[in-house]
Structure 1
Amino acid sequence: MPASSPSQQSAAPVSTHRQILALAVPAFLALVAEPLFLLADSAIIGHLGTDQLAGLGVASAALLTAANIYVFLAYGTTALVARRLGAGQDAAAVGAGVDGIWLSLLLGAVTTVVVAIFAAPICDVFGASPAVADEATTYLRISAFGIPGMLAVLAATGVLRGFQDTRTPLIGATTGFAANLVLNIVFVYGAGLGIAGSALGTVIAQSGLAAGLLAVVLRRARRLGTSLRPHPGRVLAVARFGVPLLVRTLALRAAMLASTWVAADLGDVPLAAHQVAMTIFGFLAFALDALAIAAQAITGRTLGARDLAGTRAATRLMLWWGFWMGVALGAIIAAVHTVLPLLFTGDGSVRDALSVALLVVALGQPLAGLVFVLDGVLIGAGDGPALAWLQVAALAAYLPLLWLVHAHAAALRAGGPSHALLMLWWAFTGFMIFRLIGLGLRARSGRWMVTGASAGRWLSG
């Protein structure tokens, strides 16, 4: 669905503007707070040395993959809960959320065991130097024990968003970030634990955040008389609904991991700079995703209430906002692209390479704004199968660009770290363009606008 003109925007109901703002502003602040967990780690660890920072880059890529492939626990639960809320089925809505939480705890326990046992070979896959791989293994093995908390946060946040509550996740994320920052400073510098201390601080903070959000969801369930016991059939239904979103996320994470692998092939300096650039990109993505969170909640609720006009109006408005928010964020990053690197490292070569990469990041933000909003609308509509195919197609189109960078790695290294990283980030911008094309065509088709408490078998759990 194309972005509308200013005249069309003025025709949008005032209530739609207010609903979007009420959801998006707290979501924006919460989503900005969440990546600060990793930004704090990057800033603190960056001053320990280049090996430690590069090691964090490898470990965080693996850790985020292990956790974020389950992002359907948030996105899918939001869609399930919001649709039932729109249809007036409040008890069933929170029941779907409780099932999602049980699923998150099960998946978290299994993933923790796998990641903790295989931390070293996982990090070795990236092909970094032995010193970097050692630092990465230490961080990843300890951080694995925070995965159940990370997944529980995803599920609980999805429930609250589905109930149109983005303020509670904001309070939780802000408290969690503050605790993470204090704990990391105490463990890394006060106790002298180095990169291990940073991992330990993040595990404690993330687990505390999960406990707080779960308490809020469970209170709502008791108030509505919803059973808190696991129902295997319903839990499996939630898992089945999440399969297409899991495929979508795996394809997205594959693109991120492949980018990190190519960065490692370019050398330790480009890898360290790439880690920070990707972290900043993630920070901006979470900021833009505030509109996508609003899109998920509003799209699910309006389609559940059979309000097609409200769905269309909200989609047009959020696309317009997504583009201009991207423009604003890009302008900010471009203005400070030589200042931000000073916060993360004292290595001049890493700072120079990062500065160049950030210019490309800045230029791609308007595209990213459209991509995230479209993604949120389709997730809220329960259009999981289409999203899975579109993301796989974008990955297939991106891999040849990455292969070109990898194939010319020797020549790029000869041109210097900045030149090598510049080419990698231009390739990644191409990946975002491929995503925009696919999502835009799907949105224009209108086939995702299925109304009612469920959208076929994908929301019938």
Structure 2
Amino acid sequence: MADNSNHGSATVHEPAVDNNNNKWKMPLLVFFNDARNVFKMDSIGKELLGIAFPAALAVAADPIASLIDTAFIGHLGPVELAAAGVSITLFNQASRITIFPLVSITTSFVAEEETLKNITANKVAQDDDQSNEDIEKGFPKKNLASLANSSSSADVDVKDSFKKSSDDMSENNADTDSSLKIDNHLTHDTKTNASSTDKSSTKSNKKKRKQIASASTALIFGTILGLIQAALLIFAAKPLLLLMGAKPGYPMLILARKYLKLRALGSPAVLLALSMQGIFRGFKDTKTPLYVIVLGYSLNVALDPLLIFHFKLGLTGAAIAHVVSQYLMALALFLILLRRVDLKPPSIKDLQIFRFLKNGGLLMLRVIAVTFCVTFAASLATRLGPISMAAFQTCQQVWITSSLIADGLAVSIQAVLACSFAEKDYVKIKAAAARVLQMTFVMGVGLALVVGIGLYFGAGVFSKTASVLQLVRIGLPFVAATQPINALAFVFDGVNYGASDFTYAATSLVLVSIVSVGIEYAMYKMKGFVGIWMALSIYMALRMLAGIWRMGTGTGPWRFLRQ
């Protein structure tokens, strides 16, 4: 790799091209690059885990809070619990479709834009330092020469004026000394002024907030999408709940409709908070959102018993507790963000509206494809009867929950790669991508053991029915064995987003989902419950292979691996 310093002080590594030997370089081998260092806590390892660990905790905070929320609601009765369950499922699906694409592209765009601004700022600072050095070393000497010339002229004039004076020589010497004193005084003033200007400019730069146009754009989209989601869930609550399976005229529908409308009021806060999480992730800061999220959900859990039982608001109290905590989280993140970013863009032209719409639309299509594929599998399990559906739900919940850890690594590699691609630091791109995928595989193997043993001995926590437990143990090998595959598939999403390869990420998954839906139906017909899990395992394997193919063949943003 050859170094290129055309982008300021950042070290930029351009791929060297061998014109004499332009053979296939086997990009597939990148996955085994420095594999022995997978556990090494060097700068790359520390950076990846430093971002991943808080991100994973932040992602896990929401389902944990929802679980506690559900436990409080469960004490109200089965009807209230069912009403809250169907409403929360509908709300979460709507939020996922609207906000997931926005968070993903915001992380990449903010990381990329901040990196480019830092490169520019470093270049300007470097040029300023060079100018100051030139002033200190060259400009005073030129001043001395010029002042010396003018001093010589002055000497001639003095001599002419005082030719008749007997102390001519002494006057001339005095004048020369005076000239040199003036020159020294001017030189000192120049240096002092330059030094004071440097200090004041440094202080002002420290105080100056960053102007990241993509952050402003993300907040605009988050607000608009939040208002649209709120309006949709409020005005279409009944037909949406009927579509989810709620029966007309039943008490559950009445309670669910009321609860969903109240939860919908918090949609703008939810989407704004999530979009700000994407901005902080772009800054490689996952700790700030984690602190705010933990405090926000702690407030939610504290308000639940107070509003549900003490003030006897029931299901309404649970909804109010959630909405209040969401708005406080959004406000806290916004105030912290204001201290770091100037959210007012220089002009409307600086907002990346079209870029957000294009890439956000692609990822929205991707989310819909994923949601349809998994939902279709659940619908097939439902057709097999309540016993099969209960077993499928148990296996699926464990299957999905275990992926939360992989999400932390996906966030970290997305932020690191987005910055590195902006810098064109191909050495770091290759090292970071290889390291995170190796970490993911090791983590996936560990999860396979934990999930396999845990589900085998702990299935009784989810059900006491023998027939359900029997089916859970049949599905267990698929749930456990696919953990490394699932983890790699999710982290490859972060790799694609970090490379801003949104088109490939969307189109490849849409194709994978179309093929997988066909496989799900065929396997369901042939093997029933086992067939559904075989099909889901194939689906996740295809997702993982799509990621391997892109990097392993050195196509798209990974072309440099072939040079």
Give the alignment of 1:305-384 within 5 angstroms: 305-337=423-455, 360-384=478-502
Which position in structure 2 is the counterpart of 1:35? 63
Which position in structure 2 is the counterpart of 1:159? 279
CA offsets 1:267-296 (integer angstroms, 9 cap, x no match): 556556655654444432222111100111
Say which of 541, 546, 549 aligns to 1:441: 549
CA offsets 1:155-191 (integer angstroms, 9 cap, x no match): 1011111111111111122223322333334445555
| More displaced 10-residue stretch of structure 1: 56-65 or 360-369 | 56-65
Which position in structure 1 is the counterpart of 2:46? 18
CA offsets 1:56-76 (integer angstroms, 9 cap, x no match): 554344222211112122110
CA contact (8 A) 2:304 2:318 kept: yes
Q: Aligned partners of 1:190, 1:277: CA distance in 2, in Å? A: 37
Q: Aligned partners of 1:28, 1:80: CA distance in 2, in Å? A: 21
CA offsets 1:3-61 (integer angstroms, 9 cap, x no match): 73484342989211121122112212222223223333444456666666665554344
For residue 343 of structure 1, report the CA deviation from its aligned partner. Answer: 6.0
Question: Identity over the aligned pairs, expressed in percent?
Answer: 26
Alignment of 1:88 with 2:117, yes or no, is: yes
Query: Residue type matched to 1:389 in 2?
Result: T
Q: Aligned partners of 2:84, 2:390: CA distance in 1, in Å? A: 9
The 3 A distance-change label for structure 1 pair 248 and 179 is same
Which position in structure 2 is the counterpart of 1:240? 358
For residue 407 of structure 1, report the CA deviation from its aligned partner. Answer: 5.8
SS at match of 2:360: helix
CA contact (8 A) 2:273 2:329 kept: yes
Q: Aligned partners of 1:428, 1:36: CA distance in 2, in Å? A: 25
Say which of 178, 181, 190 aligns to 2:298: 178
Q: Aligned partners of 2:256, 2:393: CA distance in 1, in Å? A: 12
Alignment of 1:251 with 2:251, yes or no, is: no
| More displaced 10-residue stretch of structure 1: 296-305 or 92-101 | 92-101
The 3 A distance-change label for structure 1 pair 39 and 446 is farther
Which position in structure 1 is the counterpart of 2:35? 8
For residue 383 of structure 1, report the CA deviation from its aligned partner. Answer: 0.6
| More displaced 10-residue stretch of structure 1: 285-294 or 351-360 | 351-360
Alignment of 1:427 with 2:535, yes or no, is: yes
Alignment of 1:111 with 2:138, yes or no, is: no
Which position in structure 1 is the counterpart of 2:339? 219
RMSD (Å), alpha carbons: 3.5
Alignment of 1:124 with 2:242, yes or no, is: yes
Alignment of 1:79 with 2:108, yes or no, is: yes
CA contact (8 A) 2:210 2:340 kept: no
The 3 A distance-change label for structure 1 pair 332 and 256 is same
CA contact (8 A) 2:359 2:503 kept: no
Q: Aligned partners of 1:52, 1:296: CA distance in 2, in Å? A: 40
CA contact (8 A) 1:58 1:260 kept: no
Q: Aligned partners of 2:318, 2:533: CA distance in 1, in Å? A: 28
For residue 389 of structure 1, report the CA deviation from its aligned partner. Answer: 0.5
TM-score by length of 2: 0.68
Which position in structure 2 is the counterpart of 1:415? none
| More displaced 10-residue stretch of structure 1: 38-47 or 62-71 | 38-47
CA contact (8 A) 1:102 1:235 kept: no
For residue 309 of structure 1, report the CA deviation from its aligned partner. Answer: 1.4
Q: Aligned partners of 1:128, 1:9: CA distance in 2, in Å? A: 54
SS at match of 2:555: coil
For residue 349 of structure 1, report the CA deviation from its aligned partner. Answer: 7.2
Which position in structure 2 is the counterpart of 1:204? 324
For residue 256 of structure 1, report the CA deviation from its aligned partner. Answer: 3.3
Alignment of 1:67 with 2:95, yes or no, is: yes
The 3 A distance-change label for structure 1 pair 288 and 55 is farther
Which position in structure 1 is the counterpart of 2:269? 149
For residue 193 of structure 1, report the CA deviation from its aligned partner. Answer: 5.2
Q: Aligned partners of 1:442, 1:104: CA distance in 2, in Å? A: 31
CA contact (8 A) 1:99 1:231 kept: no
CA contact (8 A) 1:27 1:170 kept: yes
SS at match of 2:265: helix
CA contact (8 A) 1:100 1:235 kept: no
SS at match of 2:277: helix
Query: Residue type matched to 2:418 in 1?
Result: G
Q: Aligned partners of 2:228, 2:34: CA distance in 1, in Å? A: 52
For residue 195 of structure 1, report the CA deviation from its aligned partner. Answer: 4.9
The 3 A distance-change label for structure 1 pair 6 and 406 is closer
Alignment of 1:168 with 2:288, yes or no, is: yes
CA offsets 1:386-441 (integer angstroms, 9 cap, x no match): 11101111210221244347768xx96xxxxxxx5x65444333321221122221
For residue 381 of structure 1, report the CA deviation from its aligned partner. Answer: 1.0
CA contact (8 A) 1:51 1:132 kept: yes
Q: Aligned partners of 2:319, 2:382: CA distance in 1, in Å? A: 22
| More displaced 10-residue stretch of structure 1: 293-302 or 26-35 | 26-35
SS at match of 1:72: helix
CA contact (8 A) 1:330 1:364 kept: yes
For residue 118 of structure 1, report the CA deviation from its aligned partner. Answer: 1.6
The 3 A distance-change label for structure 1 pair 164 and 42 is same
Q: Aligned partners of 1:116, 1:274: CA distance in 2, in Å? A: 31
For residue 316 of structure 1, report the CA deviation from its aligned partner. Answer: 0.7
Query: Residue type matched to 1:16 in 2?
Result: I
Q: Aligned partners of 2:458, 2:465: CA distance in 1, in Å? A: 13
Q: Aligned partners of 1:352, 1:429: CA distance in 2, in Å? A: 20
Q: Aligned partners of 2:468, 2:296: CA distance in 1, in Å? A: 29
Q: Aligned partners of 2:488, 2:456: CA distance in 1, in Å? A: 26
**Number of aligned pairs?**
438
Alignment of 1:292 with 2:410, yes or no, is: yes
CA contact (8 A) 1:126 1:264 kept: no
Q: Aligned partners of 1:247, 1:58: CA distance in 2, in Å? A: 24
Q: Aligned partners of 1:236, 1:275: CA distance in 2, in Å? A: 40
Q: Aligned partners of 1:104, 1:344: CA distance in 2, in Å? A: 37
Larger Rg: 2
